[in-house]
Structure 1
Amino acid sequence: MTEPGAIVERLPHGPHGLSREEVRASQQQRILEAVMLAVGTRGYHEATVAHVTTAARVSRSAFYEQYSDKREAFLAAYTAWGRQFFGDLVRAGQQAGSLREIIAASGEVLVQRARQEPEASRAFILEVYATGEPGLQAREEMLRLGQDLFDALAADLQARDPAAVPPVALAGLGVIGASFELCAHVLRHPGDVMLDQVREAIEDLWWVGLTGVSARSRRAGDSRS
């Protein structure tokens, strides 16, 4: 996927020096972005292939050369968007230093994505349920990516502090799922105040999941020491 909110430009008419594979890849990229936009804006059931092809600036035949139907295209877009999203979370953590900074950076990525890409975020967080069992399976895959990220942070915490109590099994699934629900709240109730509240709540969730202690309790303890 490209930068948040961007739709890849249509290829110029006439000779352009691109191979068939490059043309196909460009069309696919535009379709993936357009289907997230269409579904996030109109809802899964109301969005049509025509809405997608119009936004992607591709022909109907070009769409069906790559995907058998709207659901297949949406689930491909959902997976691509989700993998990029979790990749952004990993990169944000790698650029941070302490665990506190990693958690804060991760929370920032979560809420800023909801703010900067509200349509795609709505499609990813809410509309995937409308696709039935295939969508639930795709969502489980994304939650497993979140669980892997959470487990990596827990292992890092254990390496830094062997006395730290390991999180309970599947805590990461709960943390990621709750974080998605908080981001959905931002989508339903946009605004800077709500954004700040959700960012703080997500940070607290991750602290509780990883350490069993909320960020507020930790700050209170730091201030007394």
Structure 2
Amino acid sequence: MPEETSAVGRPGRKRRPAAPHDVQLPSGRHGLSPRFVADNQRDRIVEALVDVVFSLGYPAASVERVSARAGVSRRTFYEQFDGKEDAFVRTCDDAAARLYARVDAARATGTTASEQLHAGLAALLDGLARKPRVAHMCVVGILSAGPAAIERRDAHNAGFARLLEEIARGQGGAPLPPLTAEGIVGAVHDVVYKRIAAGETSTLPALLDDLHGFCTLLFGQATDPRRA
């Protein structure tokens, strides 16, 4: 998010309201700071990229098409990103970081492993459902975006697996057996992927209880202090 949300006018004049990030800025002199303009352009490029990937798929999301949708020039696009793949990967990285922070904050409200799993899963499913086009891009569209994007997806999933391992350690029991956390994350990812690919992203929160029961079943014995 930009640090500046409005431009300061000259003494004795009213402050000019900030321009929304999803609209094209006026040409010529407008009194907006260079930082605000750059952030606005970047936000519009990201929004355009998400829309094009959702509507047409990653292969069709050319720099020309995304720039035209965003209302910026190719030069402006390349001032923000190295190219299409860079824009895609960095957008998914940002979305994953925000989702991870949301899940981590939610699970911290629980005391037991089951409570933490429930809160974390609720935050995950709700976060995906709130931004269906971003979810589609980062979960489904990413499969067409090349090896670098797939590598980043695997890194994101590994981060969520480490979060499960932290929950296990916090219960005072034995550490999770090898591949347990990775397997749980993979299973949840598969369930989520199928719903998003089918255009049913809004239904994800309704899966909470079933997914929680599934994860608790796999997680329960692994975190049993008697295993230590």
TM-score strictly above 0.5: yes
Structure 1 partner of 2:52: 38
Equivalent residue in structure 2 for 1:178, among 187, 200, 203: 187
CA distance in 1 between partners of 2:149 and 2:81 (Å): 16
Counterpart of 2:37 in structure 1 is 23
Specify whether residues 73 and 111 from structure 1 end up closer, same or farther in structure 2 by C-alpha distance, changes over 3 A only: same
TM normalised by structure 1 equals: 0.77
Aligned counterpart, 1:207: 216
Identity %: 20
Query: Which residue is equivalent to 1:72?
Result: 86
Which residue matches 2:10? Answer: none
Radius of gyration: which is bigger? 2
8 Å CA contact 1:179, 1:202 repeated in 2:
yes
Deviation at 1:16, TM superposition (A): 2.3
Q: Which of 193, 200, 203 is the aligned partner of 1:190?
A: 200
4+ runs of 1 displaced by more than 6 Å?
A: 191-194
CA deviations over 1:86-134 (Å, ceiling 9, x no partner): 1111111223444333212222222223322221111111111212211
| Cα deviation, residue 168, structure 1 | 1.1
1-structure distance, mates of 2:31, 2:41 = 14
Name the structure where helix makes up a greater proportion of residues: 1
Residues 181 and 37 of structure 1, relative CA distance in 2, 3 Å threshold:
farther
How many correspondences in the alignment? 203
Partner Cα separation in structure 2 for residue 168 and residue 208 of structure 1? 14
Greater RCO between the two (CA within 8 Å, min separation 6)? 1
Structure 1: gaps of 5 or more residues: 159-163, 214-225
Q: What's the secondary structure of 1:27's corresponding residue?
A: helix
Unaligned 5+ runs, structure 2: 3-19, 223-228
